């Protein structure tokens, strides 16, 4: 990751022209739609519908993130040359935390230990309340 940020970063750091941004956005939107067609042809309508719902949701959330990033960079007066690095590390960190938390949540749900402990502690708390009032 450090190699990529230091050596493979785009040579033109700064604002991306609007036509280039439109072409890239159109390209990735078309790639998502093509993948949805692949899912439709191989896995059926239900899987395709689920993918498309997630795709549209993530696409809308990305617009929200754009506004948040703009506010953060404007507030901290981030130099244009460092925006790429900040975005890169932010995205990698978000992916890493998402994987960590999904894995942790999955393991807790499958073991049942966490939810069992919550239920037992709540039961003990209710028993203490009942014993003290009666």
Asked if residue 62 is part of any domain, the answer here is: yes
Asked if residue 134 is part of any domain, the answer here is: no
Contacts of residue 109, defined as CB under 8 A and 6 or more positions apart, other chains included, come to 115
Asked if residue 69 is part of any domain, the answer here is: yes
Domain that holds residue 54: 2-77
User: So what's the pLDDT on residue 110?
Assistant: 80
Asked if residue 131 is part of any domain, the answer here is: no
Asked if residue 32 is part of any domain, the answer here is: yes
Asked if residue 107 is part of any domain, the answer here is: no
Domain count, the chain: 1
Asked if residue 125 is part of any domain, the answer here is: no
Asked if residue 85 is part of any domain, the answer here is: no
Which pTM was predicted?
0.58
How many CA within 13 A on the CB side of residue 130? 6
Per-residue pLDDT tens digits for 47-103: 999 999 999 998 888 888 888 888 998 999 988 888 888 888 888 888 899 999 999
User: So what's the pLDDT on residue 64?
Assistant: 84
Residue 29 has pLDDT above 80, yes or no: yes
Higher pLDDT, 9 or 25: 25
Sheet strands (E) in the chain: none
Burial class (CB in 10 A: 0-12, 13-18, 19+), 98: exposed
Contacts of residue 29, defined as CB under 8 A and 6 or more positions apart, other chains included, come to 59
How far, in Å, are 88, 108, 114, 129 from residue 123 at the CA level? Answer: 46, 20, 14, 10
Task: Give, rounded to a whole angstrom, the gap between the first and last alpha carbons of the chain.
Answer: 63
């Amino acid at each position: 990751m450090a190699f990529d940020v230091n050596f493979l970063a785009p040579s033109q750091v700064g604002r991306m022209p609007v036509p280039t941004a439109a072409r890239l956005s159109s390209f990735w939107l078309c790639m998502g739609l093509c993948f949805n067609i692949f899912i439709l042809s191989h896995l059926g309508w239900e899987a395709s519908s689920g993918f498309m719902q997630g795709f549209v949701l993530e696409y809308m959330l990305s617009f929200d993130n754009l506004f948040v990033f703009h506010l953060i960079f404007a507030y901290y007066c981030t130099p244009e040359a460092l925006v790429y690095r900040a975005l890169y590390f932010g995205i990698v960190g978000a992916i890493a935390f998402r994987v960590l938390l999904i894995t942790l949540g999955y393991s807790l749900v499958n073991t049942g230990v966490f939810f069992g402990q919550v239920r037992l502690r709540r039961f003990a708390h209710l028993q203490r309340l009942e014993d003290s009032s009666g």
